[in-house]
A and B are shown apart, each in its own frame.
Chain A
Amino acid sequence: MRLLRIVPDNTRFKIVRFRRFSYPFSAAYSILVLVLFLTVGLNFGIDFRGGTLIEMQAKAGKAEIASVRHTANGFGFGEVEVQEFGSAGDISMRFALQPGGETAQQAVVAKAREAFAGTHDFRRVETVGPRVSGELVQAGTLGVVLAIVGVLIYLWFRFEMQLAIGAIVGTLHDIVLTVGFFLITQLEFNLTSIAAILTIVGYSLNETVVVFDRTRELLRRYKTMPVQELLDLSVNSTLSRTAMTATTTVLSLIALVLFGGTAIEGFALVMLFGVVVCTYSAMFISTPVLLYLDVRAGRLDADVEEKVPAGAKPKAS
Chain B
Amino acid sequence: MLRFQARKVIAVLLVLLFGCGLALPNLFSPETRKAIEQGAPSWIPRFLLPIHAVTLGLDLQGGSHVLLEIDRADLIKTQVTQLRDDMRRILREERIAFQGGIGLTARGVQVRVPEASDRAKLLPKLRELAQPVGTLGAFGPSGTQSIEVSEQPDGLVQLQLTEAGANERVRRAVEQAMEVLRRRVDALGTTEPNIQRQGLDRILVQVPGLQDPQRLKHILGDTAKLQFRMVADQNSGDVDMLPSQDAGGQLVPVSRQVIVEGEDLIDAQPAFDQRTSQPIVNFRFNIRGAQRFGQATTENLGRALAIVLDNKVISAPVIQSPITGGSGQISGNFTVESVNNLAILLRAGALPAKMTIVEERTVGPGLGQDSIQAGKMATLIATALVILYMVLTYGVFGVIASVALLVHVCLIFGLMSLLGATMTLPGIAGIVLTIGTAVDSNVLIYERMREESHMGRSLVSALEAGFQRAFATIIDSNVTMLIAAVALFSLGSGPVRGFAVVFILGILTTVITAVTLTRMLIALWYRWARPKALPF
Contact = CB atoms under 8 A, between A and B. Distances in A.
Interface string B419-433: 000000110110011
A214 B213 CA distance: 56
Nearest to A200: B484
Interface string B82-101: 00000000000000000000
Given A146-B487, A253-B433, 5 more contacts: A101-B356, A123-B364, A125-B360, A131-B358, A213-B473
Contacts of B483: 147, 150-151, 154, 202
Interface residues of A, number: 86
Interface in B342-390: 356-364, 366-367, 370-371, 373-375, 377-379, 381-382, 385-386, 389-390
Interface in A92-143: 101-103, 105-106, 109-110, 113, 121-129, 131-132, 139-140, 142-143
Contacts of B393: 3-5, 244
Contacts of B464: 311
Given A3-B536, A143-B492, A260-B378, A252 B385 contact: yes
Interface string A182-222: 00000000011011001101110110011001100100000
A57 B367 CA distance: 10
B515 to A, nearest CB: 13
A252 B387 CA distance: 10
Interface in A247-298: 247-256, 258-261, 263-264, 267-268, 271
B436 A241 contact: no
A264 to B, nearest CB: 5
A215 to B, nearest CB: 11
Interface of B: 59, 67, 69, 213-214, 217, 221, 356-364, 366-367, 370-371, 373-375, 377-379, 381-382, 385-386, 389-390, 392-395, 425-426, 428-429, 432-433, 435-437, 439-440, 443-444, 447, 450-451, 454, 457, 461, 464-465, 468-469, 471-473, 476-481, 483-488, 490-493, 495-496, 499-500, 503, 536
A154 to B, nearest CB: 6
Nearest to B68: A102
Secondary structure of the B side of the interface?
helix
A261 to B, nearest CB: 3
Contact of A259 (B359, B381, B486): B381
A102 B476 contact: no
A9 interface: yes
Nearest to A191: B496
Given A140-B491, A252-B386, A259-B378, A192 B364 contact: no
A240 B447 contact: yes
A71 interface: no
A310 B364 CA distance: 61
B429 A267 contact: yes
A314 B468 contact: yes
Contacts of A3: 392-395, 536
A105 B426 CA distance: 26
B487 A198 contact: yes
Contacts of A5: 393
A313 B468 contact: yes
Among A195, A209, A238, max chain B CB count under 10 A is at A195
B443 A209 contact: no
B359 A310 contact: no
Nearest to B452: A310
Nearest to B363: A124
B268 to A, nearest CB: 25
Contact of B476 (A213, A251, A258, A260): A213
Contacts of A103: 356-357
A222 to B, nearest CB: 14
